[in-house]
Amino acid sequence: MTTALSLREVRKDFGPAKIIQGVSLEIAQGERHAIIGPNGAGKSTLFNLISGLYRPTAGDIRLRGQSIAGIRPYRINRMGLSRSFQVSNIFSNMSVRENVRCGVLWSMGQGYSFWRNIGNLKLVQEKTAHILDSVGLIDKADSPAALLPYADQRTLEIAITIAGGADVILLDEPTAGMSHSETDRAIALIQKATAGKTLLIVEHDMGVVFGLSDRISVLVYGEIIATGAPEEIRGDPRVKEAYLGDEAELPEAVA
Amino acid sequence: MSDQTQNPGLIDLAPTSAQKFTTRLLPLILFAAVLLIIPLLGPSRTAYSLLNAIGINIVFALSYNMLLGQTGLLSFGHAVYFGLGAYAAMHGMNAIEAASFDGGTWALMPVFALPVLGFAGGALAGAVIGWPSCRNAGVPFAMISLGIAELIAAAGFMFVSIFGGEEGISADRMNGIEAFGLSLGPISEVYWFIVFWTLIGVVGMYAFTRTPLGKMGQAVRDNPERVQFVGYDPQRVRYLVFIASGGFAGLAGGMSAVNYEIITPESLSLLPSGFVLLMAYIGGIRYFAGPLLGAIVLTWMQSNLSDFSEAWLLYLGLMFIAIVMYAPGGLFGMVLGFARGIIQPDAAPRLTRWGALSAAAMVTFAGVILLTEVAVSRTSGHVFAPGGLPLPPSSPLSWALGLALLIGGGWAIRHLSQRFAS
Ligand SMILES: Nc1ncnc2c1ncn2[C@@H]1O[C@H](COP(=O)(O)OP(=O)(O)O)[C@@H](O)[C@H]1O
Ligand SMILES: [Mg+2]
């Protein structure tokens, strides 16, 4: 089993506030790993550390064995790690197609080129169309991203994230604010789009979490209090106490 | 090319060639056709010099919009690149003249090609100055651009051997090799030089918007944070666009050097930097062709209204404010909206509404002009007499008329917009 992503004693302070307090985590190649925890636990901060938006105060983060702590986000992205955002973070004045194309360009070796007409880049167009098709946004390819309905913006957020073909994918609450049917569709899309890839996902919907993940980590106040397979987490008394509250019922086996 | 076969039945999203033709090639062909037809109408010398100034400003304003509209960078010092490009071309012109007496490599360079030197000068300046200024967009970028404009303009007045002091430097364009059989003596021949480089500039800058770098510039404008997470360094994107934009500004500077045969440090200063901002913004920074339209309108106003009224800059300021507040799409946005309004169904009531509102706005503006001109005439002594009707500042009637137009127009705008809103 090769390790895709490993965190060792990662800490992050904002001034006096210790938000991440020594997180260690090993995620295997191809694993689907969910991070759950109450609001403000530091889940998004952890993603910001892994993806390079923040520099850890201490500790080390490795992608396939190579240290990425403190490296700029675009370099980490080029190494094959891509993330989505909890609040949709798209290119709002561009069309849906242009949004996805932005995600495709670098991976297709276009770099900063200013001598090529983007319209003539056949492979880029095909890859873009392929991704739009696979996420179900092909009919809306030419609408301005800002005018998309909320659920479609969330889908576009995922589409941009997977467009570059990264094999480690971080999704921060991809279904937040979606209806039941929208959530089901989004999860099916995530399953399909991340097949064979390493997935780290923050998710509130417990049905989704227990159905999707190989392993789950519970983050509370910047510390991981439990990591394990879904059954272990469901049965862990500390998790019940700290996160779910005594009365909370965890969903029974999910298909 | 193996991917190509892996995705059978793929939907082709690219616009059809008919769409490409009508939205891209056709406007360009029409623009070029107009430029080619103009000389057949036998324009006067004054008309030619206005047209040449318009061509220069079109390239300058479009280069400014590579920053503002396309990449979201607000610069207060864009004239620096125009001016340095112009100086580079001007020194080149003098070198060509010198070489025409004693030979040397400069003898191989036609004056016609000097805008290339302008481009190089502007791009080089962009490469040097952009390095510290492109770290951030937003306020730091704007402030640094302002500081650098002040600095370079001050240096322009100090280093006399390069910039020629207050008189600037001048040169003679009728030297060296003739390109396309143009001596560049008469202004009608300079016109062809301007047309050539205007088209190069317009096509070049349009093509730039369609390159991967140009597209990532737009992405950086929209959301620099996200750009980092698709593998691009927003700082690098800004820097490269900045160099290209400096190059095209320098190209316009080179055109100006050949056209006017003189350049002064004034042209590096904040004044022309502000003017290019106005041209781009009033024309419409959201559209590629916006600044082009803005350059035509403002250059025309500059050359005509400045003779007609001392207060023309005041009107320009008012126009700018009105556009910022009520029509952020600029003149081009208005034209486009109007064209769409005619094509779409139910045009009649919409056009009536626009007609009524424009009439009210015009009445208001007439009131502003009347009051301003009457006020100006108090000190200038020239009585303002629109259509032969004298309106002396001493007569209360002049003021009453102005106020009546202003208040009446303003009331009509309010009334109409409320009625149409409900
Ligand atoms: N840039 C920052 N500066 C200061 N505090 C921050 C910053 N980012 C996050 N925090 C704080 O860290 C805590 C965890 O936030 P976050 O990671 O967004 O939680 P979660 O995603 O688990 O809901 C919150 O208390 C938040 O206020
Ligand atoms: Mg969060």
> Has residue B181 been placed in a domain?
yes
ipTM attached to this prediction? 0.91
Ligand 1: nearest atom to the Cα of A222: 14
Query: A8-66, pLDDT tens digit by residue?
Result: 999 999 999 999 999 999 999 999 999 999 999 999 999 999 999 999 999 999 999 99
Looking at residue A243, what is its pLDDT? Answer: 61
| Axis-axis angle for helices B79-102, B45-71 (nearest 10) | 130
Tell me whether residues B226 and A130 touch, CB distance under 8 A.
no
* Higher-pLDDT residue of B97, A246: B97
Q: Which residues of A touch B213 (CB under 8 A)?
A: 112-114
Which of A39-48, B277-286, B384-393 has the weakest average pLDDT?
B384-393
> Has residue B327 been placed in a domain?
no
Looking at residue A254, what is its pLDDT? Answer: 40
Confidence band (pLDDT; 50, 70, 90) for B174? confident
How many helices (H) does chain B have, and how many strands (E)?
A: 18, 2
Ligand 1: residue whose CA is nearest its atom 25: A40
3-state SS, one letter per residue, for B328-353: CCHHHHHHHHHHHHHHCCCHHHHHHH
Considering Cα of A54, then A58, then A59, then A62, what sign does the dihedral take?
Answer: positive
Tokens standing for A10? 């990662």
Ligand 1: nearest atom to the Cα of A173: 21
Looking at residue B340, what is its pLDDT? Answer: 85
Tokens standing for B77? 């010092």
Domain final residue pick, B307, B324, B354:
B307
Tokens standing for A162? 């997977």
> Has residue B1 been placed in a domain?
no
Question: Looking at the predicted structure, is the pLDDT value of residue B164 above 90?
Answer: no
Owner of token pair 């904040």: B270
DSSP 3-state assignment of A251? coil
Tell me how far the alpha carbon of residue B104 is from its chain's centroid.
37
Candidate from B211, B227, B231 with C-beta closest to A113: B211
* Domain span at B106: 17-307
> Has residue B10 been placed in a domain?
no
Question: What gap in Å lies between CA B247 and CA B242, rounded to an integer?
Answer: 8
Q: Is A243 on the interface with B (CB under 8 A)?
A: no
Ligand 1: nearest atom to the Cα of A47: 17
> Has residue B403 been placed in a domain?
yes
Tell me whether residues B228 and A72 touch, CB distance under 8 A.
yes
Q: Is A97 on the interface with B (CB under 8 A)?
A: yes
Indicate if B104 and B179 belong to the same structural domain: yes
Query: From ligand 2's centre to the CA of A167, what distance in Å?
Result: 22
Domain final residue pick, B277, B307, B337:
B307
Distance from CA of A229 to the nearest CA of B (A): 30
Query: A74-94, pLDDT tens digit by residue?
Result: 999 999 999 999 999 999 999
Indicate if B261 and B377 belong to the same structural domain: no
Indicate if B56 and B201 belong to the same structural domain: yes
What domains appear along chain A, each with residue ranges and CATH number? 1-80+167-255 (3.40.50.300), 88-165 (no CATH)
Indicate if B215 and B108 belong to the same structural domain: yes
Q: B279: part of which helix (H) or strand (E)?
A: helix B270-283
Looking at residue B352, what is its pLDDT? Answer: 86
Tell me whether residues A103 and B7 touch, CB distance under 8 A.
no
Confidence band (pLDDT; 50, 70, 90) for A7? very high
Question: Looking at the predicted structure, is the pLDDT value of residue B356 above 60?
Answer: yes
Ligand 1: residues with CB < 6 A are: A 14, 17, 19, 37, 39-45
| Mean pLDDT (chain B, rounded) | 89
Tell me the residues of chain A between 2 and 61 that have a Cβ less than 8 Å away from chain B.
51-53
Looking at residue B135, what is its pLDDT? Answer: 85
Question: Looking at the predicted structure, is the pLDDT value of residue A246 above 60?
Answer: no
**Structural domain count of chain B:** 2
Looking at residue B8, what is its pLDDT? Answer: 40
Per-position DSSP letters for B86-133, written without gaps between them: HHHHHHHHHHHHHHHHH--GGGGS-GGGHHHHHHHHHHHHHHHHHHHH
> Has residue B198 been placed in a domain?
yes
Indicate if B206 and B136 belong to the same structural domain: yes
Indicate if B271 and B411 belong to the same structural domain: no
Question: Looking at the predicted structure, is the pLDDT value of residue B9 above 60?
Answer: no
Report every protein residue that has its C-beta within 5 angstroms of ion ligand 2.
Answer: A 43-44, 86
Looking at residue A1, what is its pLDDT? Answer: 66
* Higher-pLDDT residue of B21, B262: B262
Q: Which residues of A touch B20 (CB under 8 A)?
A: 119
Q: Average pLDDT for residues B379-393, to the nearest whole number? A: 83
Tell me whether residues B7 and A101 touch, CB distance under 8 A.
no
Residue A229 Cα distances to A11, A130, A197, A233, angstroms = 25, 34, 18, 6
Tell me whether residues B216 and A102 touch, CB distance under 8 A.
yes
Query: B205-251, pLDDT tens digit by residue?
Result: 999 999 999 999 999 999 999 999 999 999 999 999 999 999 999 99
> Has residue B250 been placed in a domain?
yes
Closest listed residue to residue A21, CA positions, set A74, A49, A58, A48? A58
Looking at residue B422, what is its pLDDT? Answer: 65
Query: From ligand 2's centre to the CA of A204, what distance in Å?
Result: 10
Indicate if B157 and B295 belong to the same structural domain: yes
Percent of chain B with pLDDT strictly greater than 70: 96
Q: Is B230 on the interface with A (CB under 8 A)?
A: yes
Question: Looking at the predicted structure, is the pLDDT value of residue B27 above 90?
Answer: no
DSSP 3-state assignment of A21? strand
Q: B71 to chain A: nearest residue by CA?
A: A93
DSSP 3-state assignment of A185? helix
Domain final residue pick, B259, B291, B307:
B307
CATH number at residue B146: 1.10.3470
Q: Average pLDDT for residues B251-257, to the nearest whole number? A: 97
Indicate if B65 and B198 belong to the same structural domain: yes
Q: Is B207 on the interface with A (CB under 8 A)?
A: yes
Indicate if B249 and B152 belong to the same structural domain: yes
* Higher-pLDDT residue of B69, A248: B69
Tokens standing for B88? 């580079």
Per the document, the length of chain B is 422
Question: Looking at the predicted structure, is the pLDDT value of residue B99 above 70?
Answer: yes
Indicate if B51 and B194 belong to the same structural domain: yes
Closest listed residue to residue B254, CA positions, set B113, B156, B76? B113
Q: Which residues of A touch B207 (CB under 8 A)?
A: 117
Indicate if B26 and B157 belong to the same structural domain: yes
Looking at residue A253, what is its pLDDT? Answer: 41
Q: Average pLDDT for residues B14-19, to the nearest whole number? A: 68
Percent of chain A with pLDDT strictly greater than 70: 94
Looking at residue A252, what is its pLDDT? Answer: 46
- In this structure, which ligand is nearest to the CA of A46? 1
Question: Looking at the predicted structure, is the pLDDT value of residue A98 above 50?
Answer: yes
Apex CA A202: angle with CA A198 and CA A208, to 5°?
90
Which of A109-123, B11-25, B34-48, B54-68 has the weakest average pLDDT?
B11-25
Confidence band (pLDDT; 50, 70, 90) for A245? low
Confidence band (pLDDT; 50, 70, 90) for B6? very low
Burial class (CB in 10 A: 0-12, 13-18, 19+), B365: middle
Per-position DSSP letters for B165-209, written without gaps between them: GGG-EE--SS-SPPSTT----SHHHHHHHHHHHHHHHHHHHHHHH
Looking at residue B376, what is its pLDDT? Answer: 85
Q: Is B232 on the interface with A (CB under 8 A)?
A: yes
Q: Which residues of A touch B231 (CB under 8 A)?
A: 74, 77-78, 105-107, 164
pTM of the model: 0.90
> Has residue B325 been placed in a domain?
no
Indicate if B298 and B172 belong to the same structural domain: yes
